[in-house]
Amino acid sequence: MPELPEVETTLRGIEPFVDGKTLTKVCVRETRLRWPVPKAALARLCGQRVVSMERRAKYILINFDKATILLHLGMSGSLRVLPRAQSPDKHDHIDLEFDEQHIIRLNDPRRFGCCLALEPPLDQHALLANLGPEPLEADFGGNLLFRRSRGRKQAVKNFIMDGKVVVGVGNIYASESLFKAGIRPGTAAGRISKKRYELLASAIKEVLGKAILAGGTTLNDFTQADGKPGYFRHELQVYARDNEPCHQCGTKIRSKVLGQRNTFYCPSCQRY
């Protein structure tokens, strides 16, 4: 479910209920997420005030004075703002309480997500130390993709999904961006021209930016922090549209497995 736009949407949804507030209570019902949830370390943060919040790649960071809560939604996670009295459902693993009325609740059926308590310096933590640039920041562009791709035989789709190259481009938006840039997903990354990479970088920025404005993409179960679906699904050009006509030229959209992930493209619009 959650790619960068979904995580950004989630962050924006919970921010008014978290930023500047004091953590009053933590309730952990299930510690078996991707890594064991450090109950005691989270409990020690109670009484401390949130000084800032940010997103890095697909991680949500809740910063306190001397520690940070790091959350990842994995494949199936969501964070929602709920009334404090709301009883937990199946897979509601963690509640964070920041005021009298609300809780922030992590639900994650597949338990691929995580919730950790980190000590500074944050940027030296293994999960954050080797991340590539943010796709929506100015330091990411076609030039960077071109330089990093020289000599690489890997399929360009797998290349842009590599978090060391650029963060936050997941399976849906990788297919969508390549469509927009006219590039075949299976082309070797090292064989693509600088000019094409400029188009691709712009496409990634545009697709992610639009998806954030739409509140993310809801395929099956993604909901924003207020429980509403994301609306980017209606904008998808190729993802999950195999055998349907391309919106641009009418050719049948094809699918193919690359790097163990389903990939969608238009054989006529994507020729490079």
Which residues of this protein are in contact with DNA, per CB under 7 A?
1-3, 6, 32, 34, 57-58, 72, 74-76, 90-91, 109-112, 126-127, 151-155, 158-159, 163, 170-172, 189-190, 216-222, 230, 259-262
Nearer to DNA, 74 or 135 (CB): 74
Least distance from C-beta 107 to DNA, angstroms?
10
Give the tokens for residue 224: 């924003």
Cβ of residue 168: shortest distance to DNA, in angstroms? 7
The residue from 55, 58, 80, 180 that is catalytic is 58
DSSP state of 156: H
Q: What are phi and psi of 206, to 5 degrees?
A: -70, -45
Of 21, 205, 256, 261, the active-site residue reads 261
Taking CA atoms, 230 is separated from 17, 61, 203, 211, in Å, by 20, 22, 20, 8
Q: Is 254 a catalytic residue?
A: no
Active site residue 244: no
Instruction: Decide if 33 contacts 111 (C-beta within 8 A).
Output: yes
- Residue with smaller CB distance to DNA, 55 or 102: 55
**Beta-bridge partners for 255:** 264
Q: Is 6 a catalytic residue?
A: no
Question: For 248, which DSSP code?
Answer: T
Min dist. Cβ of residue 218 to DNA (A): 5
| Sequence-separated (6 or more) residues with CB below 8 Å from residue 96 | 18, 23, 25, 26, 69, 103, 104, 105, 106
* Total residues belonging to the chain: 272
157 catalytic per annotation: no
Taking the least distance from each CB to DNA, the nearer of 102 and 254 is 254
Q: Report, in Å, the least distance between residue 242 CB and DNA.
A: 10
Contacts of 36 by beta carbon, 8 Å cutoff, 6+ apart = none
Q: Which residues of 239-248 are buried (b: 16+ CB within 10 A; e: fewer)?
A: bebeeeebee
Q: Catalytic residue numbers? A: 2-3, 58, 261
